[in-house]
With several copies, the nearest count.
Chain A
Amino acid sequence: MRTAQQPRSEAARERTVHRRRQTVRSVLIAAGSTGVLGTLLVVAVTGAPGWDRVRASFFDPGIARAALPEILAGLWLNVRLLFFCAFGALALGLVVALLRTLRGPVFFPVRALATGYTYTFRGLPLIIVLYVLTLGVPGLRLQGMPSVLVLGGIALVITYSGYLAEVFRAGIESVHPSQWAAARSLGLTYRQTMRHVVLPQAVRRVAPPLLNDTVALQKDVGLVSLAGPIDAVRAAQIATADTFNYTPYIVAGVLFVLLAIPLIAVTDWVTLRAARRQAGG
């Protein structure tokens, strides 16, 4: 197997020249069109009648600097909540999914409960669950009532596990029946097959939606601030109240996007790989 680089015939040389010319043209065109489009956008935006006011209201560097520490402190709350809620929701979602796929009549009520759970919490706006759990439930003054933050976290876990349960279930169903047959024919029991053969494959299959839900969760954890704790968005809101300027929201938004980019990039990569694998299979 040679790895010769130089094409040898006249036709090939001509083709190479043509291609090289095309590559150069491509780069030029790309640069040119980027420049033109970029200029157009800049002119359109900054030349618009309200641009000065937009800049003053949304892009004031002084205000951004002043608001940053508080917003960062709030973001730390988001990150911590994300961490715990993501694990909690994954664990609870998996349990609910397993309950929903149980076979046999004894498990009928468990299956029904699990189904009802996924329907309820996929249909219920997070904000209602949050209000009920963080404002309503403490009013009962039951013993050992946890803090608002924990209650808010529970609301997030409950809501998201409703989604994740369905994601896991779709993953379990997407494992080919022949894998079940192969495992059972070796003498493995239902549990062993689920544990060692089906679940590992199911989780791999649904990695893209799981990651997607994590990105969504990252954006939603901040809603606990409706119940009091100060997250990044709320910190921006407070700063906005001080100054009557929307720059703090932009700062919070940029931080959120920066925080999300790695997660989104991983999600896209995993999703495309899965899509291509599906295409390739």
Chain B
Amino acid sequence: PQESTPSTPSASGLACGKDALKTRTGGKLTIGTDDPAYEPWFTENKPENGKGFESAVAYAVAEKLGYARADVVWTRVTFNNAIAPGPKPFDFDINQFSVTEERRKAVDFSSPYYLVRQTVIALKGSKIAGAKSLADLKGATLGAQVGTTSYQAITDVIKPSGKPQVYNSNDDAKKALQNGQIDGLVVDLPTAFYITGAEITDATIVGQLPQVGVPEQFGLVLDKDSPLTGCVTQAVDALRNDGKLTELEKQWLAQTAGAPELT
């Protein structure tokens, strides 16, 4: 994950101070995320409290760019709106956006701040709770949120025989899992830990899906050709290099190690 993606403009030589940045509101940094904002990425649906991994990363980036906590303004944008083409109401958005080439046609990404794996979770008594391989999942009814890489993982990696179920939000999908309407739910690993640990306690992590192609990474989303992309990338790189990202990961996503691998 150290290599920044090639199309990211070089940050060197850019003046990235608070005064030089052309943000939406001068002197303020507007950061977007969805409503509700989910754990463990945020806590209590309050991005402004600085708690939760993504909230902490956002404030760290802001700090690197020279913004005090008070200069950060949060705005709420739905997942699908944030990555759709079109003008953006934020300077950057942090909402578990996986960096993909398709999305890059519509928006800019910063360099990645987190390496993610898609994970299948199921109720403990479910027929797939003990699955060891992708083949064990073939006959299962799986669900995911629309427009996510999780859904793509179902259709591209697992390729189940039945139709996947698609939901507007992870909440609906979780409810369907809890109701037994789907056998398994695909989400990213930290979310999987949070769901199984705090939300649906009779659910368990079945396993992580194998990585195909480039590793999946989360990046900050910026408006296409945003003048800030270079500076934000520079800030994320700096955080990675000085070990801050690892530290925040340990603090907020500590338990995510050790999920079984599906082959």
A and B part of one assembly = yes
Task: List residues of chain A with CB under 8 Å of any chain B CB.
Answer: 57, 131, 134-141, 145, 148, 225-230, 234, 237-238, 240-244
B141 to chain A, nearest CB (A): 9
| Chain A residue nearest to B85 in the complex (CB) | A139
Q: Is there contact, CB below 8 Å, between B81 and A139?
A: no
Q: Is there contact, CB below 8 Å, between B87 and A145?
A: yes
Instruction: Select which of B102, B148, B176 is within 8 A of A228 by beta carbon.
Output: B176
Bound complex: CA of A238 vs CA of B165, how far in Å?
12
Q: Is there contact, CB below 8 Å, between A228 and B181?
A: yes
Instruction: Select which of A137, A227, A234 is within 8 A of B172 by beta carbon.
Output: A227
Instruction: Select which of A238, A240, A244 is within 8 A of B35 by beta carbon.
Output: A238
Bound complex: CA of A232 vs CA of B147, how far in Å?
15
| Chain A residue nearest to B107 in the complex (CB) | A244
Q: Which residues of chain A come closer than 8 Å to B165, judged between CB atoms?
A: 148, 228-230
Q: Which residues of chain A come closer than 8 Å to B178, judged between CB atoms?
A: 139
Q: Is there contact, CB below 8 Å, between B81 and A225?
A: no
Instruction: Select which of B35, B80, B176, B181 is within 8 A of A230 by beta carbon.
Output: B35
Q: Is there contact, CB below 8 Å, between A139 and B146?
A: no
Contacts A135-B81, A241-B36: A228 and B182 contacting too (C-beta < 8 A)? yes
Q: Is there contact, CB below 8 Å, between B179 and A141?
A: yes
Bound complex: CA of A241 vs CA of B97, how far in Å?
13
Q: Is there contact, CB below 8 Å, between B180 and A238?
A: no
Contacts A227-B172, A242-B45, A244-B199: A138 and B84 contacting too (C-beta < 8 A)? yes
Of A131, A138, A140, A234, most B-chain CB atoms within 10 Å: A138
B103 interface contact, C-beta 8 A: yes
Q: Is there contact, CB below 8 Å, between B171 and A240?
A: yes
Q: Which residues of chain A come closer than 8 Å to B148, judged between CB atoms?
A: 241
Per-residue contact bits, chain B 165-181, to A (CB 8 Å; 1 contact, 0 not) = 11111011011101111
Q: Which residues of chain B come closer than 8 Å to A240, judged between CB atoms?
A: 171
B86 interface contact, C-beta 8 A: yes
User: For the complex, would chain A's binding face be called helix, strand, loop or mixed by DSSP majority?
Assistant: helix
Bound complex: CA of A250 vs CA of B83, how far in Å?
20
Per-residue contact bits, chain B 55-89, to A (CB 8 Å; 1 contact, 0 not) = 00000000000000000000011101101111100
A139 to chain B, nearest CB (A): 3
Bound complex: CA of A131 vs CA of B181, how far in Å?
14
Contacts A148-B181, A228-B143, A230-B35: A138 and B169 contacting too (C-beta < 8 A)? no
A278 to chain B, nearest CB (A): 43
B105 interface contact, C-beta 8 A: yes
Contacts A228-B77, A230-B166, A244-B105: A138 and B143 contacting too (C-beta < 8 A)? no
- Sample 13 A-B pairs with CB under 8 A, ordered by A number: A136-B84, A138-B85, A138-B86, A138-B181, A139-B178, A139-B179, A141-B87, A141-B179, A228-B167, A228-B172, A241-B80, A242-B102, A244-B102
Which 3 residue pairs are nearest across A and B when measured between Cβ atoms?
A139-B85, A228-B165, A138-B86
Contacts A225-B166, A244-B84, A244-B106: A238 and B36 contacting too (C-beta < 8 A)? yes
Contacts A230-B166, A237-B147, A242-B45: A141 and B176 contacting too (C-beta < 8 A)? no
A65 to chain B, nearest CB (A): 18
Q: Which residues of chain A come closer than 8 Å to B85, judged between CB atoms?
A: 57, 138-139, 141, 244
A99 to chain B, nearest CB (A): 32
B151 interface contact, C-beta 8 A: yes
| Chain B residue nearest to A238 in the complex (CB) | B36
Q: Is there contact, CB below 8 Å, between A138 and B179?
A: yes
Contacts A228-B81, A228-B166: A241 and B176 contacting too (C-beta < 8 A)? no
Q: Is there contact, CB below 8 Å, between B179 and A135?
A: yes
Q: Which residues of chain B come closer than 8 Å to A131, judged between CB atoms?
A: 172
| Chain B residue nearest to A148 in the complex (CB) | B181
Bound complex: CA of A230 vs CA of B155, how far in Å?
13
Q: Is there contact, CB below 8 Å, between A241 and B181?
A: no
Q: Which residues of chain A come closer than 8 Å to B106, judged between CB atoms?
A: 139, 244
Bound complex: CA of A250 vs CA of B4, how far in Å?
37
Q: Is there contact, CB below 8 Å, between A141 and B80?
A: no
| Chain A residue nearest to B148 in the complex (CB) | A241
Bound complex: CA of A141 vs CA of B175, how far in Å?
12
Q: Which residues of chain A come closer than 8 Å to B84, judged between CB atoms?
A: 135-136, 138-139, 244
Of A136, A225, A244, most B-chain CB atoms within 10 Å: A244
Q: Which residues of chain A come closer than 8 Å to B81, judged between CB atoms?
A: 134-135, 148, 227-228
Q: Is there contact, CB below 8 Å, between B103 and A238?
A: no
